[in-house]
Chains A and B, each alone.
Chain A
Amino acid sequence: MNEPARTLDPTQKLHFYQKGTFTVGNRLVSEQERAVQASIDRSNALTCGHRACQGCGEALGARYAIDAAMRETNGQLIAVNATGCLEVFTTPYPETSWQTPWLHSLFGNAAAVAAGVAAAMRVKGRRDVRVIAQGGDGGTTDIGFGCLSGMFERNDDVLYICYDNEAYMNTGVQRSSATPPAARTATTPAMGPEPGNVFGTGKSVPKIAVAHGIPYVATATVADLHDLERKVVKAMRIHGARYIHIHVPCPLGWGSASNDTIRLARLAVECGLFPVFEAEHGLVTGSRKIRRQVPVDDYLKPQKRFAHLFGSEQGNKRLAMVQAIADRNIVEYRLLDHDGDV
């Protein structure tokens, strides 16, 4: 059922002429590999006029992901949305930013609703119409987790995209199971002897997705939109359950400058806290290498949610614990094991 994925990994072929950036001009790549957003034919699936905050990583990620999926499916795409920021800021009815057929049902059932849409398309003989479910980290890793796991194990023909901004931003920045250790949220305040989110809690849904043995799992980031598009395109060429987990900074929830969204997303990758990898049928097949590892401090310092970590001995100890998490990711996902040109 899987057509062989086209080898499209730009990390294997491209050369980066500008230091300290992932930008590769479209001129430097073949016609086929050029960004969806660079095309005049892009669908603008999530079009202008929505109410996302300035610098919203989720709006950016969703725009790129859905446009890429629209191109790959010739516009034969239905999107199901979990409750959350993305749902609220895109559909202040009678306005809607969606240029695709779009359904919002509940917070915790997007994966199951999408499975129902996919079943309807199968029974109607519309095999050309593909289905995407999307939600934030709360709707994916917490309240929607049961339905998500069910969709995975049944291998329903759905691509689920999680836009991970590491807390319940829509309800006012409360902790989710994707909130990183030490992060201050409204329900993990920077107070007491161990301020912020508790160490040793949380879960990696990408790893859990891999454990389901589904055809395709990937993490991606708005710091590398070309890679994000590539992964969405790859996912749309595969049938069965697929999962893409996109790291999307939230200026409001993270207490960061709105013009720092891309920089922070990149630092999260380069310090090792957000490993970017791909897996197929239960096996990790590759990871995005880090060219120069940066200390986690560089990533954490511009974010007010981590301000309590800086300027005290206790804070330094906890920073070392965060650094240890990053270092462990680097080993686990072989993030510094350069194999040729990166």
Chain B
Amino acid sequence: MLKQIEGSRAMAEAIGLCRPEVICAYPITPQTHIVEGLGEMVRTGDIKNCEFINVESEFAALSVSIGASAAGARAYTATASQGLLFMAEAVYNASGLGLPIVMTLGNRAIGAPINIWNDHSDAMALCDAGWMQLFAETNQEAADLHIQAFRLAEELSMPVMVCVDGFILTHAVERIDIPTQADVDAYLPPYEPVQVLDPKDPISIGAMVGPDAFTEVRYLQHYKQTLALRLIPEYAAEFKARFGRDSGGLLRSYRVEDAELIVVAMGSVNGTIKDTIDEMRADGLPVGLVTLVAFRPFPTEALRAQLVRARDVVVIEKSLAVGMGGPLANNVDLALRNVAGAPHVHSVIAGLGGRPITCASLHRVLRRALVQPWEGAHFLDLNEEIVAKELHHVRKVRRSGPTAENLLRRLGQAAEQSAVLGASR
């Protein structure tokens, strides 16, 4: 059914259709509207046979989900940013125990400096924790991915993080097709756990494992993710057959056929990138786009197949591994490792802490990539003036003070100056 609703509400309705049995979350912006919606639906009885639990921290939220999942219930939680880091120990624990929990991550920057806006730092911080990570491009896809996520998680007994851009998706109101209960029931069978706490068959779960078997436990986790590389496209195809639209899969490509330059990106920014590519194509420039949906498992082979024919690859990502560069660019490099004549990979760090990524900026950087490609990471729209001033200040004064506050003061001074200039004109 078509509805004009907020992305968070659409996700909540889609999750509700998956018949979750235990929902447990702790408030953190920008994930809150999703669990508020779910809480409401549990109260009104729109979601039946479900326990909605308010807890004292994200660590507890995922811990309650772990207990519920181990006891055989379909468990769901949601978080973002600091919340994901606060539950980090339980994130590893859930995957190590093989519990098919589904968690929405309303992607948000990580502090300090504290920042509530969107980037992918949170997902990247825990990308190797043994969870599958699927990134939504649109709110329709965000809703649909949750339905696929439960299926995938429960088939493999492995948790899934559905990553949705904070505010840009979670708080955007748009037209979204919410499936029917009958269709979701037909697509997603009831949860049949592979291990469960049951007094009839008492087993111990979570025992200590020494050097004798730890490698094998980890290997099997990795192996399951390689199985997911096959299951993710399979479930997306089944989803399309039943619901009539493309959602999910490992990756999608756009105008790559004859592209000499291919952009790689994840999440909601792909819409803006497609508009930019259309405009560049109109100018006769050979550019295309690969949108990654699955970041874990990383679709190395599928991505390589898309990229090998290009001359250059530009990875645009909303994350920065300080001291290294772009983590997504690094992963893309891996997909091209040992490939003869592989395209050159150029990294763009963009949209950190919610800075808008505009078509104008994308035009500038992509046109530059065609004629004057760069090495290392390029920081899109970096305010070089205040950076230079701060660096100068730091060199001059030993007790130079807190960087974030210094930069904000410089921005304020600049704004004041331009206001004065404007008034004097």
Residues of A bordering B, CB below 8 Å: 75-78, 80-81, 87-88, 91-93, 96, 98-106, 108-109, 112-124, 129, 146-147, 149-150, 153-154
Among the listed stretches B69-77, B153-161, B317-325, B364-372, which one makes contact with chain A, having 4 or more residues with CB under 8 Å of it? Answer: B69-77
How distant is the Cα of A124 from the Cα of B49 in the complex, in angstroms? 8
- B93 touching A119 by the CB < 8 A rule? no
Shortest Cβ distance from A109 into B: residue = B63
Could you tell me which residues of chain B, from 168 to 217, have a CB within 8 Å of some CB in chain A?
A: 197-199, 201-209
Known pairs A105-B206, A114-B67, A150-B55; A123 contacts B197 (CB<8 A):
no
Shortest Cβ distance from B87 into A: residue = A109
- Which residues from A are CB-within-8-Å of B208? 87-88, 91-93
How distant is the Cα of A122 from the Cα of B49 in the complex, in angstroms? 9
How distant is the Cα of A80 from the Cα of B71 in the complex, in angstroms? 11
- Which residues from A are CB-within-8-Å of B64? 112-113, 115-116, 119
How distant is the Cα of A146 from the Cα of B70 in the complex, in angstroms? 22
Q: Which of B21, B49, B97, B209 contacts A105, CB < 8 Å? A: B97
5 closest Cβ contacts across the A-B interface?
Answer: A116-B67, A104-B206, A120-B71, A112-B63, A109-B63
Instruction: Render B297-341 as a binary contact track against A, CB cut-off 8 A, 1 for contact.
Output: 000000000000000000000000000000000000000000000
- Which residues from B are CB-within-8-Å of A87? 208
- B197 touching A147 by the CB < 8 A rule? no
B49 CB, min distance to chain A CBs, angstroms: 6
How distant is the Cα of A92 from the Cα of B212 in the complex, in angstroms? 12
- B63 touching A102 by the CB < 8 A rule? no
Q: Which of B54, B90, B207 contacts A104, CB < 8 Å? A: B207
A58 CB, min distance to chain B CBs, angstroms: 17
Known pairs A146-B59, A150-B57; A102 contacts B205 (CB<8 A):
yes
Q: List 10 A-B contacts (CB under 8 A).
A: A91-B206, A91-B207, A103-B197, A103-B204, A113-B64, A115-B60, A118-B67, A119-B68, A123-B22, A124-B72
- B204 touching A120 by the CB < 8 A rule? no
- B207 touching A103 by the CB < 8 A rule? no
- B93 touching A102 by the CB < 8 A rule? no
How distant is the Cα of A100 from the Cα of B205 in the complex, in angstroms? 11
How distant is the Cα of A247 from the Cα of B295 in the complex, in angstroms? 49
A116 CB, min distance to chain B CBs, angstroms: 3
How distant is the Cα of A91 from the Cα of B208 in the complex, in angstroms? 7
The yes or no answer to B247 lying at the interface (CB within 8 A) is: no
- A119 touching B22 by the CB < 8 A rule? yes
B278 CB, min distance to chain A CBs, angstroms: 48
Number of interface residues of B (CB under 8 A): 41
Known pairs A120-B21, A146-B59, A150-B55; A78 contacts B75 (CB<8 A):
no
Could you tell me which residues of chain B, from 235 to 283, have a CB within 8 Å of some CB in chain A?
A: none
A89 CB, min distance to chain B CBs, angstroms: 10
Q: A105-B63, A124-B72 are in contact. List 4 more A-B contacts (CB 8 A).
A: A101-B201, A103-B206, A105-B90, A116-B75
- B67 touching A113 by the CB < 8 A rule? yes
The yes or no answer to B289 lying at the interface (CB within 8 A) is: no
Known pairs A92-B208, A96-B207, A101-B198; A150 contacts B60 (CB<8 A):
yes
Known pairs A112-B63, A112-B67; A98 contacts B53 (CB<8 A):
no
Q: Which of B63, B68, B205 contacts A120, CB < 8 Å? A: B68
- A154 touching B53 by the CB < 8 A rule? yes
Known pairs A78-B71, A93-B204, A112-B64; A119 contacts B59 (CB<8 A):
no
B39 CB, min distance to chain A CBs, angstroms: 14
A302 CB, min distance to chain B CBs, angstroms: 32
How distant is the Cα of A118 from the Cα of B57 in the complex, in angstroms? 18
Known pairs A76-B199, A101-B198; A116 contacts B68 (CB<8 A):
yes
Shortest Cβ distance from A81 into B: residue = B206
- A115 touching B202 by the CB < 8 A rule? no
The yes or no answer to B24 lying at the interface (CB within 8 A) is: yes
Shortest Cβ distance from B52 into A: residue = A119
- Which residues from A are CB-within-8-Å of B21? 120, 123-124
How distant is the Cα of A100 from the Cα of B79 in the complex, in angstroms? 33
How distant is the Cα of A160 from the Cα of B3 in the complex, in angstroms? 46
- A109 touching B60 by the CB < 8 A rule? yes
